[in-house]
């Protein structure tokens, strides 16, 4: 494996594994709901709507029934037997392409839906007004959204994630968190389920899809069900996702000799904080080694 590949693997591991603080030691005595293969049931809506794509090639499942949404003039699924194309666009940052798209849509009398973020509203209000004037749907794609195109290196990417998480937590190093079920349905969490978060100083419940880049969320949403099939309970509905732990290893290393001691005799630095581990398991293994060396010296 090349140095570049190893570095990419470390970055991927840090962004994927360490974004999760999954508390999944759950009771196995509860009742399980068994549905026939291919069956889908809408989950009662609690103020926010979202979709989950449970089976490849099959329609998505919403957390509200189509009949319930209809009373608000809303829908997420049309007649699958009809050959109809729905045009939707995610508009994060205007770069000169939106108006030519609007021109083409106007030429062919083709209405579309534009999901815009706050930056687009602030910097291109005339284009937003034109969308509405010409009969297009203008939807909300969250107000703040990371501009990933401006991130040029790993350090800047890390800083972007940390700033977004800090802001979502409301400051004071409160961490944004979300239940797995809500994350997969793309709806904000209002509080914990049977699994309580252990992070200190605390968490603020939110929708991590509005905090993390889309490609990170999409990767996690694909990976969680796969991991759950390998480790039962990994994607339990009440498991907790906590963002964002981007610093997996200490950038410095406290030197130690063959006996595990530092320049200060009797002091055996070990684990992640001392620069000898990259995570919980490796830190625990290094701590055991330090303990064995200490016992042997007694």
Segments making up each domain of the chain, as ranges = 1-20+49-74+156-248, 93-144, 250-298
How far does Cα 124 stand from its chain's mean position?
28
Q: Residue 50 — very low, low, confident or very high, per pLDDT cuts 50/70/90? A: low
Q: Residue 218 — very low, low, confident or very high, per pLDDT cuts 50/70/90? A: confident
The pLDDT score that the predictor gives to residue 206 is 92
Encoding tokens for residue 227? 């991991």
Report DSSP state, residue 274: T
Percent of the chain's residues with pLDDT above 70: 79
Instruction: Give tens-digit pLDDT for 88-127.
Output: 998 877 888 999 999 999 999 999 999 988 778 888 999 9
Q: Which residue has the tokens 């594994």?
A: 17
* Residue among 257, 255, 254, 256 nearest 274 (CA): 254
The pLDDT score that the predictor gives to residue 25 is 27
Give dist(CA 59, CA 64) in Å, integer. Answer: 14
Q: Residue 30 — very low, low, confident or very high, per pLDDT cuts 50/70/90? A: very low
| CA distances to 48, 51, 68, 238, 244 from 73, in Å | 15, 17, 10, 31, 37
Work out the average pLDDT over 45-71: 72
Encoding tokens for residue 260? 């595990």
The pLDDT score that the predictor gives to residue 91 is 86
> Would the pLDDT of 22 be above 50?
no
Phi, psi of 205 (to 5 degrees): -75, 135
Encoding tokens for residue 115? 């999901």
pTM of the complete model: 0.46
* Residue among 127, 140, 137, 139 nearest 99 (CA): 127
Q: Where would I find the H helices in 146-279?
A: 154-168, 180-184, 214-230
| CA distances to 99, 150, 157, 297 from 154, in Å | 33, 12, 5, 43
* Residue among 276, 163, 212, 272 nearest 20 (CA): 212
């Amino acid at each position: 494996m090349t140095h570049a590949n190893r570095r990419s693997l470390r970055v991927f591991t840090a962004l994927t594994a360490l974004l999760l603080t999954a508390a999944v030691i759950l009771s196995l005595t509860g009742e399980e709901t068994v549905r026939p293969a291919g069956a889908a049931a809408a989950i009662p809506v609690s103020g926010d709507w979202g979709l989950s794509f449970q089976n490849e090639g099959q329609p998505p499942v919403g957390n509200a029934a189509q009949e319930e949404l209809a009373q608000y003039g809303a829908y997420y699924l049309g007649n699958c037997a009809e050959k109809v194309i729905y045009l939707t666009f995610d508009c994060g940052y205007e770069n000169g392409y939106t108006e030519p798209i609007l021109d083409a849509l106007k030429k062919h009398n083709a209405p579309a839906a534009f999901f815009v973020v706050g930056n687009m509203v602030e910097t291109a209000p005339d284009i937003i007004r034109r969308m509405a004037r010409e009969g297009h749907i203008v939807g909300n794609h969250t107000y703040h959204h990371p501009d990933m195109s401006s991130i040029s290196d790993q350090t800047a990417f890390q800083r972007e994630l940390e700033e977004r998480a800090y802001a979502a937590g409301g400051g004071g190093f409160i961490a944004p968190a979300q239940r797995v079920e809500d994350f997969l349905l793309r709806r904000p969490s209002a509080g914990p389920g049977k699994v309580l978060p252990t992070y200190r100083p605390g968490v603020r419940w939110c929708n991590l899809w509005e905090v993390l880049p889309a490609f990170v969320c999409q990767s996690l949403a694909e990976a969680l069900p796969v991991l759950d099939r390998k480790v039962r309970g990994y994607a339990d509905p009440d498991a907790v996702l906590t963002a964002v732990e981007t610093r997996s290893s200490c950038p410095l290393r406290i030197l130690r000799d063959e006996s595990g001691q530092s320049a200060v005799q009797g002091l055996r630095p070990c684990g992640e904080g001392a620069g000898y581990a990259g995570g919980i398991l490796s830190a625990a293994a290094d701590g055991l080694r330090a303990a064995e060396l200490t016992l042997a010296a007694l």
